[in-house]
Structure 1
Amino acid sequence: MWLDLEPRGDEVAAVYAPSQPSKDSTPFTPDSPQAWLRLALAVLIGSVGAVGMWSVVVVMPVVQQEFATSRGAVSFAATMIFLGFGVGGVIMGKITDRLGIVPAMAVSIAFLTGSYVLAGLSTALWQFIVISFMMGLGTSATFAPLMAEASHWFERYRGLAVTIVASGNYVAGTFWPPLINWSTQAYGWRATHVGIGIAVGLLMTILLLVLRRVMGGSAAQDHSNALPPRIDLKLSANTLTVLLCIASISCCVAMAMPQVHIVAYCGDLGYGVARGAEMLSLMMACGIISRIGSGYLADKIGGIPTLLIGSVAQGFALLFYLFFDGLTSLYLISAMFGLFQGGIVPSYAIIVRESMPASEAATRVGIVIMASVFGMSGGGWISGVIFDATGSSAAAFLNGVIWNALNIVIVTALLLRARARSRLAMA
């Protein structure tokens, strides 16, 4: 069951008490059929809009060839997408907290449509790289803000809802790359980008209009009437946000080694990059199962214990990479790693909603997700540097284990604090 920490006295209750519904607000019941309909629309929006996280990986070789540049130079476009995704999560989260998810998604549609069309018209690599930052900004609204928004629609199944929305990113990673590759081969990467911009703009606009109609206009009313936090760690929102950011960076540095380098690692072992790509796909597919499963678990035991379980399991999977490097073993470990790590990042969104007011949930989730993005991008780079310095992937995997241990320490401390507060509340 949940860590049952109800409002703790008049002072906390006054801080976290939801505002009174306005006369014009439309009644909404959490966990209702309408909530599930909203969730289905949110997943579809996320699956379409997350194209920005995957398209550059597919077109990178042809863009490199056309602009006659190095792999490192063209790879900077992916870095800019991650940067835009991280920064955009905070900006779009603030818009969501102030105005609702509908205006935030409208901004997302404008950025995605415009950036893809401009990318198709770019005449120099620097233009493509700058535009990639805009892609990241547009994509960002489909992750952290959308997860935070979905958390307001559910009470009993909040964890499951958040992780289902987060799975939209992995769904996009499943169907967009093959489609983009086919279009690039048939029509070229420029026409493909323009086509993506038009298709995403139309599809997301239609889905957003349907969502707006289902929500009865603005989502801000759901923020004002949302239930108060479930747990009180007796930490300020800023302090808790900083701790979650450090934890997020540490776990994602650890997560980055297999996700970023598994393809190259298989090439180094002589198995070929195709086997590594298959392992990466297997990892992502298992990650979808993990995300949904972790949401179900969070609804039973809470976000902090769920995060701790995922982090400990991820640490064990990293250790297995240190001791086994056979082809069959790597397939099994990669599948296991996907099952363990998929629910970690969404757990942060669940923890934020459990312990902070709904009025700032999207902003806080955006900040923590931005930290996780920096952890992923920095972790991938650090792993490469360690490999270059040592000539061994084992040292890079060990680096991931150490960072993962830091995450376990922080999350364990939060769990112990939560349990101590629970005992005091029941005394």
Structure 2
Amino acid sequence: MSSLRDEMAVAKVIDHHIEAGTGYAAAEAATEAAREELGLSARRLQGVLVVAGFACCMAMSMPQLHLVAYCGDLGYGVAVGAQIVSLMLGLGVVGRVGSGVIAERIGAGPMLLIGSAMQAVALLLYLFFDSLSSLWVIAGLFGLFQGGIVPMYAVIIRQFLPPREAGARISLVLTATVLGMACGGLAAGFIYDATQSYRLFLHGLLWNLVNLALIGWLLVWPKWRRRSQTKGLRSADGRP
């Protein structure tokens, strides 16, 4: 009986590995097909995501790391600034869950573009409003908008890049986002020391535009590529 149980256990392990291998093969085929439709190599797509992740978090770090000091400079007190940041981070959790729900319906790429665009809008609002009530509202909006941005990179990697390499590739992009958070806060501090002004929210906005340009290009490129291929085929056939 013991031998029979051992054989059954081994058979279950073998079946599990066969199923896992089949799942990997299907996932590999799906990601390869999606990548072919995208028209980018795995290395090039990885590079675009790394740069986009770094840029978005350069922008994202500015309010998170300097809003407390900004409130102090405006005369509202650092304690109030800490409360505003707490609201921002709390609503970031809500934004993260909500972005996931929306991404299931429209896709990770469009959701990433929408989140990045809304983050840019919130950063732009900081340039025009600095009353206490407006800071509360803008911080809440910023938290909602930025909460779901970074997770979308992992979803895009899983959709387009080989699943056997997902761990390393996701880690690389997330490392870029962490470096962006660190460098963004540091750069903002240097700019403040040089200008004695927190109008440097514009600095974060410029990085956000870099991120928007890259993600927008990723979404538009496949359509432009297919259109060019269709025109080429029509020209080869002598059709207008």
Distance 1:289 1:303 in 2: 17
Q: Is the 8 Å Cα contact of residues 223 and 359 (structure 1) preserved in structure 2?
A: no
- Greater share of residues in helix: 2
Which letter maps to 1:399?
A: H
Q: Is 1:402 matched up with 2:202?
A: no
Aligned match of 1:243: 48
Pairwise CA RMSD of aligned residues? Answer: 2.2
TM-score, normalization by structure 1:
0.47
Instruction: Report % sequence identity.
Output: 48
- Residue among 171, 174, 195 paired with 1:369: 174
Deviation at 1:419, TM superposition (A): 3.1
Q: Is the 8 A contact 1:267 1:276 kept in 2?
A: yes
Q: Which amino acid aligns with 2:173?
A: V
The 5-angstrom pairing of residues 98-109 of structure 1 reads none
Pairwise CA distance, 1:348:
0.5
2-structure distance, mates of 1:222, 1:249: 35
Q: Which of structures 1 and 2 has the larger relative contact order (alpha carbons within 8 angstroms, sep 6+)?
A: 2
| 1:291 counterpart letter in structure 2 | R
TM-score (norm 2): 0.82
In the TM superposition, what is the alpha-carbon distance from 1:307 to its structure 2 partner?
0.7
How many equivalent residue pairs? 213
TM-superposed deviation, 1:224? 2.4
Deviation at 1:422, TM superposition (A): 6.5
Deviation at 1:23, TM superposition (A): 3.7
Instruction: Report deviation, 1:222.
Output: 8.6
Correspondence for 1:266 among 71, 76, 97: 71
Distance 1:274 1:226, change over 3 A: farther
Read off the aligned partner of 2:109 and give its amino acid letter: I
Separation in 1 of the partners of 2:213 and 2:175? 21
2:85 matched to 1:280?
yes
Cα distance change, pair 250–222 in 1 and its aligned pair in 2 (3 A): farther
* 1:226 to partner: Cα distance: 5.6
- How many Å apart are 1:349 and its aligned residue? 0.5
Residue 223 (structure 1) shift? 6.4
Residue of structure 1 equivalent to 2:112: 307
Aligned match of 1:349 = 154
| 1:231 shift after superposition | 2.5
Report if aligned partners of 1:226, 1:358 keep a CA contact under 8 Å in 2. Answer: no
Q: 1:27 to 1:289 in 2, by over 3 A?
A: farther
Residues 224-269 of structure 1 deviation map (CA, whole Å, 9 limit, x = unaligned): 2563227222211111111111111111010010011111111111
Aligned to 1:417: 221
Change over 3 Å in CA distance of 1:222–1:403 after alignment to 2: farther
Q: Which runs of 5+ in 1 are unaligned?
A: 1-21, 29-219
In 1, Cα distance between the equivalents of 2:88 and 2:130?
16
Q: Quick one: which of 9, 15, 39 aligns to 1:24? A: 15
1:361-397: CA deviation from partner (whole Å, max 9, x where unpaired): 1111110000000100000000000011111101x20
Q: Secondary structure at the match of 1:393?
A: coil
- Whichever of the two has the greater Rg, that structure is 2
Distance 1:348 1:364 in 2: 10
Aligned partner of 2:58 in structure 1 is 253
**Equivalent of 2:131, from 320, 323, 326?**
326
Contact 1:304 1:347 in 2 (8 A): yes
